[in-house]
Amino acid sequence: MSDDHDAPDGRRLGLEPTDLDGHTIEELTEYLDAGRQPLDRSIEESPGCQLALDALERLHGLSGELIDADAAASPEVEPGWVDRILAGIAIDARAGRRIPFASPEPNVDLAITEGAVRGLIRSAENAVPGLLLGRCRLDGDVTTPGTPIRVAIEANVFPGEPIPLLADRLRAEVDRRLRLHTELDIVAIDIAIRDIQEVSS
């Protein structure tokens, strides 16, 4: 499957409806804009939709000042950063691989989905103002306990804190959350800054 997805305005970004239990990012955006009313159980009971809605809510939280900043940005700023964020949300919402947990009981099988872990990584942006995450990726065989895993994160930054400081804070927060909630052997957290959103005066 392609990593391209469909943006809400109809441009091809490439998410298949099966990735969100038959829904699309456009539908979820409209559902969120309507205050999640009327209640749609097919959305509310879908883990993939919940991951996407959570990320969309964080993106919508920036829709005032920061989305306006994109419109007012200098010509040097690469366009389409919102589309890339939506593309990352779509990818992250997929269940992906099954990540096992160790269990003291031999007949108990515990696991978490790769999509849930990507959602956990994405939620770290709440603790680091000035950053908005794009795509998150787990490199390595997450299905085999003890395998070294590298985390790759794409991010946009906004004026304020120095970029190295923001990256260090994000790396520490992601590391803390992964060690608290997973048993993955994280050997590196790589952060790539894709865009710097400047506000024109």
Residue 144 exposure: Cα atoms within 13 Å on the Cβ side: 6
Per-residue pLDDT at 84: 61
Low-confidence ranges of the chain (pLDDT < 70): 1-19, 58-95, 197-201
> Under CATH, which number does the domain 17-196 receive?
3.30.70.1350
Per-residue pLDDT at 76: 47
Count of H-run helices and E-run strands, the chain = 7, 5
Widest CA span in the chain: 63
Q: Which amino acid is at 83?
A: D
Per-residue pLDDT at 149: 96
CB within 8 Å of 40: residues ≥ 6 apart: 31
Q: 15-24 pLDDT, tens per residue?
A: 344 567 888 8
Pairing of strands 185-196, 148-157: parallel
Q: Which amino acid is at 182?
A: T
Six token digits for residue 24 = 């699309």
| Burial of residue 10, with CB atoms counted within 10 A of its CB: 0-12 exposed, 13-18 middle, 19 or more buried | exposed
Residues 162/200, Cβ–Cβ less than 8 Å:
no
pTM for the complete prediction?
Answer: 0.61
CB within 8 Å of 141: residues ≥ 6 apart: 147
Run of H or E including 124? none
Per-residue pLDDT at 116: 84
Per-residue pLDDT at 23: 83
Per-residue pLDDT at 92: 55
Other Cβ atoms closer than 10 A to 142: 21
Q: 90-108 pLDDT, tens per residue?
A: 555 566 788 988 877 777 7
Bond preceding residue 17 cis, omega within 30 of 0? no
Going by C-alpha positions, the residue among 191, 63, 200 that lies closest to residue 134 is: 191
Run of H or E including 193? strand 185-196
Q: How far is CA 56 from CA 10, 138, 161, 185, in A?
A: 17, 21, 24, 29
Per-residue pLDDT at 12: 33
Per-residue pLDDT at 138: 94
